Structure 1
């Protein structure tokens, strides 16, 4: 209880930093599986990717869009206007990063690399793909904690629930980065190092998100929905296609449904 009281007493910036360092740490735990295994069953990987997509869809709705609508109500413009604008901007921003940053999705051949053409090795392209994925997650957590310092009705536990949900799905993400690198011939330590490094953008995104919201209360509904749009882009562009690319579509879909419910319970129980 003392730790909870101490955490609630610090500024939202430090809360967001601690929360996103936690999500990074869980990614590192997942990446550390490479010291125990060299490969992972494809069914388990597809199920975990589906689970991660369910977590992110649920978090986008319950932890970001619904609060954004609530914070936008009572203003001079309809509540759907800032939420729609923020959501679209989030999706378009991730689309821009997707077009510019060279990367390679998990099960794609090297010639299918996206973004600006480079001579980067396949391992670097795989790491960059997950790095793009992790940025909106950190942003979402930062915005959620930033709302605590700008808007009445914001719930510390709601922000904590979002961080916990993202951390849960970060564990299989760490596995999904480190084990393919190990299969490519990289040493266990290097595979772990680059696996955890892919999530280092989450604390960066968290600080950016919380700072953006604290600058202006009026930005809150835009920022929350922006993070939601960015996360939904990642789900549709990356997680769902990857989870369905094998022969385990039903397992991946089941994982997505379970992930959605887990995040919904976390948000509703803690908010």
Structure 2
């Protein structure tokens, strides 16, 4: 099955492969959001565990799928200092999301309306929640697209199978993300259909970011190691600034940590086994 998927991704090219992969991650987000048609609430313990799982997947993907290939590729460009592109790209990715975080009005899932971040606004809480998860999904889409582009360029340490593993990992953790947007809206009295719409809409940005990432590294091969570490820095910023704090606001912090470890382990297995 994996061989068939790899052949298909190779045949259609990196840009289309990135698009298909990120459409897959969007689909799993929509599947997660669809649970609002069957449930109105979800236990906070389950919610925090799923958020922890999401953080674990993103941290593992940042190293195994992005930073490690970046450093490996840089050994040929900077044999004495292979850490330079990874360091610059990593910091740039974090600063990029930091800038968006300060400019884009948004509200994290377990936070109150008065804790809205970004520029001041009177937008509805549901819109702010949607923007928070959208901000979260930008680096995920970029990561998938950049890795497909890197594999197409024959970058050492990057492969189609590794890109597929990354897409699978992000897709799996997107399932609870869709639920994480839709369920709070449902609890606030928003209709099931509208809650689902907002939940799946949060991941629409991933195919866009994925295609942009693939095109960028294909036409500018020299930025490959910087681009991989840029995506890693962006994801790490999101996890530390957003995901982890959201899991630490109730009494289920231990479950959140166990979820984190489970997500990290799953992504590590996927990358090592498939990549």
Using the size of structure 2 for normalisation, the TM-score is: 0.96
Matched residue, 1:149: 152
Q: How big is each residue's C-alpha offset from its partner over 1:3-43, in whole Å with a ceiling of 9 and x where there is no partner?
A: 55333211100000000000000000000000000010000
Name stretches of at least 5 consecutive residues in structure 1 with no aligned partner.
Answer: none
Measured in 1, the distance between the counterparts of 2:76 and 2:137 equals 33
Q: CA deviation at 1:111?
A: 0.8
Matched residue, 2:135: 132
Measured in 2, the distance between the counterparts of 1:45 and 1:60 equals 23
Q: CA deviation at 1:245?
A: 1.2
Instruction: List 4+ stretches of structure 1 deviating above 3 A.
Output: 1-4
Matched residue, 2:35: 33
Does residue 165 of structure 1 match 2:169? yes
Instruction: Confirm or deny: 8 A CA contact 1:55 1:259 kept in the other structure.
Output: yes
Using the size of structure 1 for normalisation, the TM-score is: 0.98
Q: How big is each residue's C-alpha offset from its partner over 1:198-254, in whole Å with a ceiling of 9 and x where there is no partner?
A: 100000110111111111211000000000000000000111111111110110001
- Alignment length, in residue pairs? 271
| Residues 99-248 of structure 1: pairs in structure 2 closer than 5 A | 99-153=102-156, 154-248=158-252
Measured in 1, the distance between the counterparts of 2:130 and 2:7 equals 37
Instruction: Confirm or deny: 8 A CA contact 2:74 2:82 kept in the other structure.
Output: yes
Does residue 251 of structure 1 match 2:255? yes
RMSD: 1.1
Measured in 2, the distance between the counterparts of 1:189 and 1:253 equals 32
Change (3 A) 1:90 1:4: closer
Change (3 A) 1:152 1:140: closer
Instruction: Confirm or deny: 8 A CA contact 2:152 2:160 kept in the other structure.
Output: no
Q: CA deviation at 1:152?
A: 4.1
Instruction: Confirm or deny: 8 A CA contact 1:123 1:184 kept in the other structure.
Output: no
Name stretches of at least 5 consecutive residues in structure 2 with no aligned partner.
Answer: none
Matched residue, 1:95: 98
Q: How big is each residue's C-alpha offset from its partner over 1:152-186, in whole Å with a ceiling of 9 and x where there is no partner?
A: 44311100000000000000001000001111111
Change (3 A) 1:36 1:221: same
Alignment partner for residue 54 of structure 2, among 52, 55, 74? 52
